[in-house]
Amino acid sequence: MHRSRSARWLAPVLVPLLAAAAAVLPAGPPASAEGIVNLYTSRHYDSDEALYEAFTKKTGIAVKTIEADADVLLARIQREGELSPADVFIAVDAGRLQLAVDRGVLEPVESAALEARIPANLRHPDGLWFGVSKRVRVILRAPGAPAVATYEGLADPSLRGELLIRSSGNVYNQSLVASLIANAGEDQAATWCEGVVENLARTPQGGDRDQARAAAAGEGSVAVANHYYIARMLAGDDAEDRAAAEKLTLVFPDQDGRGAHVNVSGAGVVASAPNRDNALAFIAFLVSDEGQRLYALANFEYPVVPGVGLTGVLEGFGGFKEDTLNASELGSLNREAVKIMDRAGWR
């Protein structure tokens, strides 16, 4: 689900290799089949199947999916060219969506209906992709942890040796740094990254859920993760994970400032889509009230459409103020973010 930092710089070398890897994926569905939407998605959640089945039940349009890493999918679409069966491309981070934009894979779409449903900061300004769910990068505090409540606080010297966060190769962290660049400039973002490195409790390792587990186990007292990982731990069947999550306090950062950093899963229409109308109908369903509730219920992501009610764990988290930076900037500033993280020694 994420592209490594080194892959970004070695793209000219890796793309042919990724294309070769894509060749071993199952063959795609036919390019011109009626009543079908061909979905290339980097989301690997079983819960999304319920979403696709609901769309098919409502419209009669079958959803044929190809799941792989976003880089592999983009290489496959480019290799398939005009004969590609791909109608819709979905990625789990604005950084990946920008990669699709940069490669010319997506077609700009003008849709008053989509624009009315999705706030402007959660869709590409030229209609190249549309956010379909939100994820929030939150702070998790163990008992006795410093009362850090802002992203800036993560770099404060009072947190020396206490911070747990995954590597700089993780696109979620790259997008967080991109948001800092957009809000405060490159110099302050660089200073922040240096402070984060100074405060690390250990060499970055594992995923977001591993940061939460480590905080609960006392390896550090403050962790950074996307909100849905802690939600899954709280609602899941794993007793150890549930007990670990219950030890932690979830903090939506910067509530007295710009608000918590928000990223998106987003969908775009592929430029060569053989079933363009079906692609638009599919994206419209994803942001319908029904589609938005399914995202929230099944995967603990937040709806992008205002007014869709929450239940369960998400309702328990309560409301929060969010940064309204346009998510497309997270992708356009990715390269600068990676450079700054490299210079700070964030591994």
DSSP 232-260: HHHHSS-HHHHHHHHHPEEE-S-TTTT-B
228: annotated binding-site residue? yes
Q: How far apart are CA 218 and CA 339, in angstroms?
A: 31
| CA–CA–CA angle 282, 178, 322 (5° rounding) | 65
Strands 62-67 and 36-41 turn out to be parallel
Strand partners, 260: 322
**Strands, E, within the chain: which ranges?**
36-41, 62-67, 88-91, 130-141, 163-164, 222-226, 249-251, 262-269
Contact 314, 296 (CB under 8 A): yes
Token pair belonging to 153: 């606080």
CA 50 – CA 325 distance, rounded (Å)? 31
Q: Looking at 25-119, list the stretches that DSSP marks H as alpha helix, in order from N- to C-terminal side.
A: 48-59, 70-80, 94-102, 112-117
Closest among 25, 39, 2 to 269, alpha carbons compared: 39
229 known member of a binding site: yes
Q: Is 52 a known ligand-binding residue? A: no
Instruction: Determine the straight-line distance between the first and last CA of the chain, rounded to whole angstroms.
Output: 18
Distance of CA 302 to the CA centre of its chain: 12
Find residue 136's DSSP bridge partners.
262
Binding site for Fe cation, by residue number, is 44, 228-229
Binding site, by residue number, is 44, 228-229
